[in-house]
Amino acid sequence: MSVSVTCLRTFGRILVPFTLHRRRRNVYSTILQRYMASKIPTVSYPNKENTPPPEQLELDRWKTTMKSSMQEEGVSTVSNNKDEDAVAATRELIEMWRLLGKEVPEHITEEELKTIMECSSKSSKKKYLKFLYVKEKLKKAKQRKKEMKAVAKEEAKKAKLLETTEEDEQRNFLFLRLWDRNMNIAMGWKGAQAMQFGQPLVFDMAYDNYMNSKEMQNTVSQLLESEGWNRRNVDPFHIHFCNLKVDSAYHRELVKRYGEKWDKLLLTATEKSHVDLFPKDSIIYLTADSPNVMTTFKHDKIYVIGSFVDKNMQPGTSLAKAKRLNLATECLPLDKYLQWEIGTKNLTLDQMMRILLCLKNTGNWEEALKFVPRRKHTGYLEISQHSQELVNRLKKTKSFNSFPKVNAHRKCGLNEKI
């Protein structure tokens, strides 16, 4: 393979100058003709202050082609409508940005264009365009993969046909291949059990006002994922969607994503608040801002998770909610078990769900905190070995919890690392 390539390359090296020369000569002659024929006012080239080198003439020649090609471009139809004008201008702008190699999508729909025009600032426009660009790229890659797969499948099929034409033997099976369906049915049974006897787990849906549409979409994706993890577990929770107002943003998005399955989900969706459904003293609101650290998973408590993706930095929102209703709060003991590196201690909803499921089944923190993203921490703290350090650390965190100035906290983390 490599041999052939080098071969080609040397070939090319010989060929290129010839072809180029010839082509250029052609080009120049056509250019000259065009140049004579065109009626554009010729721009006089002022002489450079430095004496023009002999190839100067050649250097400027490309300009004439560039200019003369105007004649071939179609003249744009001028629209009188101002709105339409703006739309067209935006479209052209995006096209020019694409020519410049900026991250903008190739194709754009009318609605997307409208969204862009509604963006208030240039940076928000660019941000949205980049989002569309990445989306388009992913879609294309997926499409390509799909095609490749189809081709491979086709070939495999052909090969198989060639190989096993006559020996189509009959074999004995115990089961028909209906695994997926059986799995679903089994999960449905378990879900029904959980609805009757399972431990409640509440998702608090009272955050619609704190999120923009993108965060809302992310939230619902995470809710879907959490529900999926719960469904597959040996001993699922009985999920409650509390404060879920019909026709709120949450509700619309959930119904859109689940489709007709929404009404058959084995969970409780209610407009009521969790304080109305359960006794107040058994509710524990989970929030990373809580001063209290969760030590063990209690099977008689009702844990509440706020379904809230916060990209706009509104710290303390969920803690404020719990404070208002006078509920107990807890946070995961991330600092106690993990050597935290970067990122917020807010975990995604599905991570929370998996951690809680694991705790519920095993009660082992190390096992459960496997679901914390690996990039956020450098490793587990060895508790037996550094027990002394742990005691000190606990003391420290305790005193710092009551004095949550970020500086102090960060400093403490640094000290320990060295």
Partner 1 sequence: MLFCWSGIRSFPKLWKINPYLSLGPGHPSLFLLVDCGIRNQQRWFSLKTMSPQNTKATNLPIAKARYLRKGYGGSKKQVPSDSPHLFAAGAAKKRSQMNNPQSKDHALPPVRNTIQLPTKPLNSEEWDKLKEDFIGKANFEDLVSSRMAQCHSSVDVAKSLLAWVAAKNNGIVGYNLLVKYLHLCVVHKQTSEVIDVYEIMKARYKSLESGGYTLLIRGLIHSDRWKEALLLLEDIKKVMIPSKKNYGDCIEGALLHQDVTTAWNLYQELLGHDLIPMMETLKAFFDFGKDIKDDHYSNKLLDILLYLRSNRLYPGESFAHSIKTWFESIPGKQWKGQFTTIQESGRCSSCGKTIESIHLSPEEYEFLKGKIMRDVIDGGDQYKKTTPGELKRFENFVKSCPPFDIVIDGLNVAKMFPKARESQVLLDVVSQLAKQNLQLLVLGRKHMLTQRSRWRKDEMEKVQKQASCFFADDISEDDPFLLYATLNSGNHCKFITKDLMRDHKACLPDAKTQRLFFKWQQGHQLAIMSRSPGLTFERILRHDTVVQTTGDSWHVPYDEDRVERYSYEVPTKWLCLHRKT
Minimum distance between the CB of residue 108 and partner 1, rounded to whole angstroms?
14
Residues 121-140 that bind partner 1 (CB under 8 A): 122, 125
Is 156 a residue that touches partner 1 (CB under 8 A)?
no
Is 32 a residue that touches partner 1 (CB under 8 A)?
no
Interface with partner 1 (CB under 8 A), residue from 188, 228, 316, 373:
316
Cβ burial 360-389 (10 Å sphere, 16+ → b, else e): beeeebeebbebbeeeebeeebeeeeeeee
Kindly determine how many residues on this chain lie close enough to bind partner 1 according to the rule CB under 8 A.
57
Is 412 a residue that touches partner 1 (CB under 8 A)?
no
Minimum distance between the CB of residue 252 and partner 1, rounded to whole angstroms?
25
CB of 273 closer than 8 Å to CB of 236:
no
Is 106 a residue that touches partner 1 (CB under 8 A)?
no
In the complex with partner 1, the residue whose CB is nearer, 52 or 363, is 52
Is 159 a residue that touches partner 1 (CB under 8 A)?
no
In the complex with partner 1, the residue whose CB is nearer, 13 or 107, is 13
Interface with partner 1 (CB under 8 A), residue from 324, 375, 388, 415:
324
Distance CA(349)–CA(230), nearest Å, equals: 12
Is 8 a residue that touches partner 1 (CB under 8 A)?
no
For the record, the structure tokens of 412 come out as 């403490």
Minimum distance between the CB of residue 187 and partner 1, rounded to whole angstroms?
39
Interface with partner 1 (CB under 8 A), residue from 118, 408, 410, 413:
408
Distance CA(249)–CA(23), nearest Å, equals: 62
Minimum distance between the CB of residue 47 and partner 1, rounded to whole angstroms?
9
Residues 60-89 that bind partner 1 (CB under 8 A): 60-70, 73, 76, 85-86, 89
Residue span binding partner 1 (CB under 8 A) among the ranges 133-141, 180-188, 299-307, 316-324: 316-324
Minimum distance between the CB of residue 238 and partner 1, rounded to whole angstroms?
29
Residue span binding partner 1 (CB under 8 A) among the ranges 56-64, 163-171, 235-243, 264-272: 56-64
For the record, the structure tokens of 69 come out as 């090609």
Residue where the block lists tokens 């063990």: 296
Residue span binding partner 1 (CB under 8 A) among the ranges 144-152, 158-166, 187-195, 313-321: 313-321
Is 40 a residue that touches partner 1 (CB under 8 A)?
yes
In the complex with partner 1, the residue whose CB is nearer, 95 or 281, is 95
- Which residues in this chain contact partner 1 in the complex, by CB under 8 A? 13, 16-17, 20, 23-24, 27, 31, 40, 43, 45-46, 53, 55, 58-70, 73, 76, 85-86, 89-90, 92-93, 96-97, 99-101, 122, 125, 291, 316-317, 319-321, 323-324, 399, 401-403, 405, 408, 418
